[in-house]
Chain A
Amino acid sequence: MRLIFSFILTLIAASFAMAETRIVSGKSDEDLALNTTFNGKDILVYGAVQSDEDSPIDVVIVVRGPDQTVTINKKESKLGFWLNSESIKFPNAPAYLAVMSSWGPTVILSPEMRAEHKIGIDEQIDLSKLSGNITNAADFREAFIRIRKENGQFVESSYGVRVEGGVLFSADIPLPANLIEGIYTFHLYVIQDKNVTAYSKSYIPVRKTGAWAWLFNLSDQNGLLYGLLAVFLSITISLIATQFVRLFRR
């Protein structure tokens, strides 16, 4: 009994003495307004890692935007014409994903660790809720990722995080011009010896502001009024502009 007790005590002491890693971080923006002139923006993420361990640190930043329902279509040639044949519905497709790291995630982490912490674009995409009549889900996933990358909605860089002196880190997260409203989650991981030794999570809300928010809400909530407004403005603006053009021509 006495032996067991002292064994447990030793364990507790050891865990206190065990090297501990902590991460503190900040961002250049705490929220983001989609106003008239929004044309994409780089968010600077910076911070410091404090580690009692000697092993060198790597930092991975995963940013995930709000989920959307996306339909992925595949075209097929039938009688010489290219028609949509197979399609799948993807109910929890992220609208934005960024995976930035100070070294290739595949080098610094095992596949199991990446899957567990969802580090990587593939790892962030959950295909379990897919629905549709398809023969090869993997092709659709690949196409989805490729198209999103082409549109700047998915970004990935193995050198996107700069680590200085084994303590300070910083990264630019490029948010594209076609950004949609919602909560963007920032996951920060510290990696040492192929293990995640520290983790922190924060958010940036992306919202429309001012007149744009008002228009969006009206369109969403009172379609009839919005439609009438659209018709009224179209007629008024066109009449004013027509008169203006005529004055100008004389």
Chain B
Amino acid sequence: MHIYLPIAQVSIDLFTLLGLGFVVGILSGMFGVGGGFIMTPILFLMGIPPNIAVASQSSQVVGTSTSGALVHFQRKTIDYKMGFILLVGGMFGSAFGVRVFKWVTQLGQIETFVTAVYVIFLSLIGGLMLYETINSMRKTPVRRKRNPHKPLHHWPLKMRFQASRMYISAIPPIMIGASVGFLAAIMGVGGGFILVPAMIYLIGMPVKTVIGTSMFQIIFVSAFTTIMHATTTHSVDIVLALILILGSIPGAQLGATFAHKLPAIQLRLGFALVILLIVAKLIYGLVVTPDDLYGLTL
């Protein structure tokens, strides 16, 4: 059954869209990410204009993160204070990122630029996670200290984060929020796949509160991005976003259940592998001679 999308101006099979939403929803629920970094390229392949795909995606991420955050809200695994601090940085980063995005677009290299940023960040994060996970799997399971002390934590502006049981400086979370907001605006995604590892490895937050807090924060950042897109590029397709949301909710619920049951180490290994797989695909796309040297953009 086909449905005509009013803003994208294309007719797409309804069940394919629901299915796509479902699969990305599972990943989203399991790893606490919006899934934008997987969804966006698939939407391109389905014939949805890239600018529409990116913009509608942000609206869809609002929905998926809301649903995902609900689970964590009920399990009380959201650190609201940390989420708010990250958000403050995120807004600044996002506003700056949108400017850089416009500037590179004017240079005509946005496509390659975005892909290069993806490759660099995804391979860094994926590699780091894989290395750590394999290391901790080899060693006899020594319990890590609950609050590994990092030099960053001795900075001024110390705050108590009760939900995460941490007493650290607010400056690192603000900086991380800003960098993720900046990257999210450039890459057109929520940024969960960068935020989650950054919270674990850089801030040293316990894995338990990381996913809920990240999702909570992403609701606001992607709502902000949606409104930015709607007012500047007019390319948010509500119908597309809502269909993807309807598909992804059951998926995200299922994914969250998996996440709760599976051991954290396997979860991290899975996440690392998914990320590295995407990096391989992106590099392949950059290096292999394209089927068509020419492309059209509106």
Residues of A in contact with B (beta carbons under 8 Å apart): 34-40, 68-77, 80-84, 87, 140, 143-144, 146-148, 151, 177-181, 208, 212-213, 215-216, 219-220, 223-224, 226-231, 233-235, 237-239, 241-242, 245-246, 249
Contacts and interface: CB of A to CB of B under 8 A. Distances in A.
22 contacts: A36-B4, A38-B4, A70-B296, A70-B298, A71-B296, A72-B296, A75-B293, A81-B286, A148-B296, A177-B10, A180-B9, A212-B239, A223-B232, A227-B231, A227-B236, A230-B62, A231-B59, A231-B226, A234-B60, A234-B63, A235-B66, A245-B250
A148 B59 CA distance: 30
B40 interface: no
B230 A82 contact: no
Contacts, number: 177
B289 A84 contact: no
A179 B227 contact: no
Interface string B59-98: 1101110110010000000000000000000000000000
- Which of A40, A151, A233 counts the most chain B CB atoms within 10 A? A233
Interface of B: 1-4, 6-7, 9-11, 47, 59-60, 62-64, 66-67, 70, 108-109, 111-112, 219, 223, 226-232, 234, 236, 238-239, 241-242, 245-246, 249-250, 253, 286-290, 292-298
B297 A73 contact: yes
A75 B62 contact: no
B113 to A, nearest CB: 10
A219 B232 CA distance: 10
A230 B109 contact: no
B9 A230 contact: no
Contacts of B249: 238, 241-242, 245
A148 B295 CA distance: 10
Contacts of A213: 6
A222 B227 CA distance: 11
Contacts of B296: 70-73, 144, 147-148
B218 to A, nearest CB: 12
Given A72-B296, A231-B227, A242-B70, A219 B7 contact: yes
A216 B234 CA distance: 9
Given A38-B4, A224-B231, A82 B226 contact: no
A86 B60 CA distance: 34
A177 to B, nearest CB: 4
A77 B293 CA distance: 10
B290 A82 contact: yes
Contacts of B294: 72-75, 140, 143-144, 146-147
Contacts of A83: 109, 112
A224 B229 CA distance: 9
A210 to B, nearest CB: 10
- Which of A75, A80, A143, A238 counts the most chain B CB atoms within 10 A? A238
A234 B245 contact: yes
A216 B250 contact: no
Given A37-B2, A75-B293, A82-B287, A179 B246 contact: no
B128 to A, nearest CB: 24
A70 B295 CA distance: 10
Contacts of A146: 294
Given A84-B111, A228-B227, A229-B238, A34 B245 contact: no
Contacts of A246: 253
A230 B295 contact: no
Given A70-B298, A245-B249, A216 B287 contact: no
Given A73-B295, A231-B59, A245-B250, A212 B242 contact: no
A237 B246 contact: yes
A50 to B, nearest CB: 39
A245 B70 CA distance: 13
Contacts of B109: 83-84
Contacts of B236: 219, 226-227, 230
Contact of B234 (A35, A72, A220): A220
A215 B238 contact: yes
Given A227-B229, A238-B249, A245-B253, A39 B62 contact: no
A214 to B, nearest CB: 9
A61 B231 CA distance: 41
B234 A219 contact: yes
B245 A227 contact: no
Contacts of A40: 11
B153 to A, nearest CB: 35
Contact of B246 (A73, A231, A241): A241
